[in-house]
Homo-oligomer: A and B are copies of this chain.
Amino acid sequence: MWKPDRLSDQTLFQQIADDLERRISYGEFPAGSLLPSERKLAEQLGVNRSTVIQAYAELRAHGIIESRSGSGTRVSKYKWGATPKHTPNWHRYAEGGNFLPNLPFLRRIREALGHNQTLIDFASGELAGDLSPVEEINLLMSEHEYTSYLGYDNPQGYIPLRQALVAYLKQYRGIQTTEESILITSGSQQSLYLITQCLLSPGDAVAIEDPSYCYSLPMFQSAGLRLFRLPVDDKGVRPDDIRSLYKKHRIKMVFINPNFQNPTGAVLDAERRKELLDVASELGLPIVEDDPFSLTAYDGVPPKPLKSIDPIGSVLYIGSFSKIAASGLRIGWMVAPHSVVERLADARQQMDFGLSVIPQRVAAQFLKSAYFVPHLERLRMHLLYKRDLLIEALHKELHELVSFTVPQGGLHLWCKIIPEVNDNKLLEEAIRRGVIFVPGSVYGSESGYVRFTYARARADEIGPGISKFSAALQEARVNKY
């Protein structure tokens, strides 16, 4: 983003006014549209609010913008859209359509991370840069040349990647499948989007875990689904709860994240896995198994997926590279009956015409390369180290104020905050102090929790991050003493 030049002969406010005039004349802010508030723009540009106030005054003096108290500063209609010309009411268009906006907490987190690169990030559910196989990917990209056409891909995804995944799924996940049963998607996110949009209809009832990252995805509400909750305890969901939800609400699908569940870290108990598949086959009910974290198992023995013990085909299985290699590859996969894969591939063509071949090819090479296993070993070791740093810091700084179960895999720690706090205040105080996390209420009905992602921050940030969090918590406690 553009920032004013402090060494320039021109004053800061004049530079800002000139830049805004350019952005307005180029259409970024059409006639009648709202400009950022003075506070927000000052934050973005790293200047004092008074400088922005001066810049706005300058533009107002030229009739370029108008301010009215209480309704903010807008681009002048007179100047930029003189009657009888009308700019489309873009604001109204932007409010249309079927898509609910992301949750306010998540928008706030994204905004804060966008504006302040120095925040200690316990919020982003992804790996740190040094945990991604960036060097390996560079090597693979420089070693292998594209000799074939860079055209539209097969609608189900790049065939060599699907072939590599057949071998991967057998070797690492105990799943036997065929390349025709695999759909390559833009991460797990697109698999879930395709399922909710194309296999379910508005008004359908589905069951999701509580707490669950699914609550953080407005896609479930955007698709018009009715959500019913399956409480998660330390052994995962209870299969009987599925039977009762089916009886009461005729749920049409169950979404499960059974291995190092996000956010709780829970692993679904082996007995319950069998029962769950029995319930599914008794009711003819599909189970969507999202399995992004298994290979991070710190003891090197990943839990077996439901799909590997699914004799009659009740399970749609979803996997991804995002949490075990690099989210920036945007490579996920779904294993499903061919009729489902074909349908979803056809719908996906309408949405984006498939994925680029380039990251798919890199992913296939990486899977087949000698780099894959050492990468996983290194990843597990580092995650375990970071988890322990986090736990140490929590014990030291927060001691009797928190409680949690120690996760045995995954990227997250689900932390109960014992004193009563105001979620919003806690988040804002933390941001003010330079640390960020996700409030637990984003994940469902449980309040008084925080999700700490320990995978993203640097190891040397974890201790200082928890110190800052601790100070924020002192400030946000409802009853201070």
Contact = CB atoms under 8 A, between A and B. Distances in A.
A339 B33 contact: yes
Interface in A29-43: 29-31, 33-34
B193 A352 contact: yes
Contacts of A29: 337-338
B198 A98 contact: yes
B353 A28 contact: no
Nearest to A128: B149
Interface stretch (A133-141, A229-237, A239-247, A259-267): A133-141
A372 to B, nearest CB: 16
A300 interface: no
B176 A151 contact: no
A145 interface: yes
Given A187-B352, A358-B362, A359-B359, A337 B283 contact: no
B134 A149 contact: yes
Interface string A122-153: 00101111001010011001100111111111
Interface string A183-209: 001110110010001111110100000
Contact of A353 (B27, B148, B189, B313): B189
A101 interface: yes
B353 A356 contact: no
Given A102-B350, A340-B90, A359-B358, A151 B177 contact: no
A146 B152 contact: no
A200 B286 contact: no
A5 interface: no
Contacts of A179: 1
| A interface: dominant SS | loop
A37 B31 CA distance: 60
B359 A356 contact: yes
Given A88-B286, A132-B151, A199-B93, A218 B27 contact: no
A134 B155 contact: no
Interface stretch (A323-331, A380-388, A422-430): A323-331
Interface stretch (A79-87, A446-454, A467-475): A79-87
Interface string A444-463: 00000000000000000000
Given A152-B124, A199-B94, A87 B25 contact: no
A115 to B, nearest CB: 13
A102 B314 contact: no
Contact of A177 (B27, B286, B337): B27
Interface stretch (A64-72, A341-349, A398-406, A408-416): A341-349
B99 A197 contact: yes
B282 A85 contact: yes
A198 B137 CA distance: 35
7 contacts: A99-B350, A142-B142, A142-B145, A150-B328, A186-B352, A186-B356, A356-B356
